[in-house]
Chains A and B, each alone.
Chain A
Amino acid sequence: MILLDPMQLELRPEELAREARARFGQEVRRLGAFTQLCLLGAETCLERSGTSGSLGVLLATAHGARSAVQAALAEVMPFTFIATQTHLAGALLARRHAVVRASCVYLEAEDWPGLQRMAQAWLAGCERVALGWVEEAGGDAPHVSRWQLAVRDSHRRA
């Protein structure tokens, strides 16, 4: 397994919606901050990698779609409910890339060695795995979307 250069996005809450709209248009309007943040980070990572081929999307988080869950606890609307689901980025990335597997795992703290071990296993079924750590803004901390691409040893940059 080869790990390509990692990248990180940090966005203020007011920047996220603007950036997501500019990049993905109406497609992400009702999917919530968490999925928007996943998509922006993963797409940036994939673009920078210059790679192609089948893809797994393995994203991790401690708190998940916190803002959607809080909103849903106050009032359940259909798309608020959808936005509480944290793995949605996989389906949206599948419109642009050959995504064959996507999961969200919840960890108590960032564990890149653990994620890389999982990616190693996923590479048996796909040529690339986009690994992400995604956390919505909380307190003074901004939204964070950190991504790294793992590719098979045999896979070469396009």
Chain B
Amino acid sequence: MSGAFVRATALACAHSPGRFEGWPYHRIDATGADWHARAEAIARDVAAELQRAVRLPQERWRAMPCFVGSSSFSIGAAEAGAPLEPPAAFCRTFAEWFGAGGPSLAISTACTSGLSALHAALDFLAQGGAREALVLGVELANRLSVAGFAGLQLLSPTQARPCDRERDGLVLGEALGAALVSAEQGAWRVAACASSVDAASVTGPAPGGEAMAAAMRDALAQAQWRPQQVDLVKLQAAGSPLADLAEARALHAIFAPPPRAVSLKGAIGHTLGASGPAELALLCAALERGEVPATVGFRTADAELGLAPSAGAASGVRRVLFNLSGFGGSVMTLALERVTA
């Protein structure tokens, strides 16, 4: 894993929530004649941003493999009356919108889908399948996800408050996150990508956060870092009363005390299968500007969690753990190391 780098990222998301299906929801400001046209407009904007950032010759884009993670693929189009499209075809179309002409692979592990796509891309690079790969996390508005989360009583009626004493649920959102991973040096080295599976329930973590702790331990071991060398943890925390607590317990099981922490889901919503690449793009951009972003929605610490996310100058932030978990027990931790000033 030590030979892979994040060379560039790009992102479409919404910072201010509106409402969708009666719930607060972060919806990207984009229009199109239909669901696919809107998806294409969003994709082409993000593709242009990524291509500006990395400036590769066209022939390298034509050979580029593309790994796409999503929990809903084009279900929104089917809700609007379009024929149900096989996810592999939907992902090939997305790859074409980015100009990536190599093989494409669609992956689903619910909310960790985008990070699972990144993991598959890193495996592909490690096997010598390519020298660089495009990773996309795609989650576009659909009633199924919102109604499903609402039916499971997981949504906040007002605002996501990650780690806050008054947190009462998630706020969902749309995002398209893109990352170009490469054997060529970039600003961030992927020191480890670790996964574990939580068998407790398909809808939530074990209360003690054991699977999250296992993923973090594995990431630290792969990266050959000691816990005290971690400068920042990007939390999974989305504002769920129980899942935020389980993650806090996992952190306390490993760190004494936990390092500086940040959650990005108050800022852009829980973007489900897109959240890996989307939060990676947001975090890398902020840290490269010299800032640890604010944990939007966090005001008052919860003594039971023992976590107080803090924003401010990012000086000294070099080693980052990046947590993500989701339905179906999927838990992942990425270890990232800053390699350029």
Contacts and interface: CB of A to CB of B under 8 A. Distances in A.
Given A85-B110, A103-B116, A121-B127, A108 B86 contact: yes
A105 interface: yes
A121 B67 CA distance: 15
Contacts, number: 131
Size class of the contact patch on chain A? 35 or more
B107 A121 contact: no
A101 interface: yes
A85 B327 contact: yes
Contacts of A72: 75, 144, 148
Interface stretch (B7-15, B25-33, B87-95): B87-95
Contacts of A106: 86-88, 91, 105-108
Contacts of A77: 151
B41 interface: no
Given A78-B151, A101-B197, A106-B86, A85 B328 contact: yes
A31 B143 CA distance: 20
A70 B198 CA distance: 28
A102 B327 CA distance: 12
Contacts of A88: 202, 327-329
Interface in A31-48: 31
Contacts of A92: 199, 202
Interface string B134-176: 0000000001110111011000000000000000000000000
A77 B145 CA distance: 11
Interface of A: 31, 62-64, 66, 69-70, 72-73, 76-78, 80-82, 84-88, 90-92, 94-95, 99-108, 117-118, 120-122, 125
Given A76-B143, A78-B152, A91-B201, 4 more contacts: A64-B108, A72-B148, A101-B196, A121-B126
